[in-house]
Amino acid sequence: MFTTNISQDGKVMRVFFRLTALFFLCFFSAAAAAAPHPQTHEERLRSISAIESYLAELRSMQARFTQTAPDGEQTSGVFYMQRPGKMRFEYDDPIEDFIVADGLFIYFYDAVMDHHSSTAIGNSLADFILRDNLRLSGDVTVLDLQENPEENLIKVSVTQTADPSAGSITLFFQREPMRLVKWRIHDAQGMTTEVALWEAQTNIHFNDRNLFRFRDPRRTREQFNR
Domain count along the chain: 1
CA 171 to each of CA 18, 46, 128: distance values in angstroms, whole numbers, following the listed order: 18, 16, 11
pLDDT of residue 217: 82
- pTM, full prediction: 0.78
pLDDT averaged over 10-residue windows placed end to end, the chain, 226 residues = 39 41 31 57 91 95 95 95 96 94 95 91 82 89 91 92 87 94 90 94 96 84 53
With contact defined as beta carbons under 8 Å apart, do 170 and 155 qualify? yes
Give the domain range for residue 79: 5-225
pLDDT of residue 124: 77
CATH number at residue 142: 2.50.20.10
pLDDT of residue 61: 98
Dihedral sign, Cα of residue 131, residue 136, residue 141, residue 142: positive
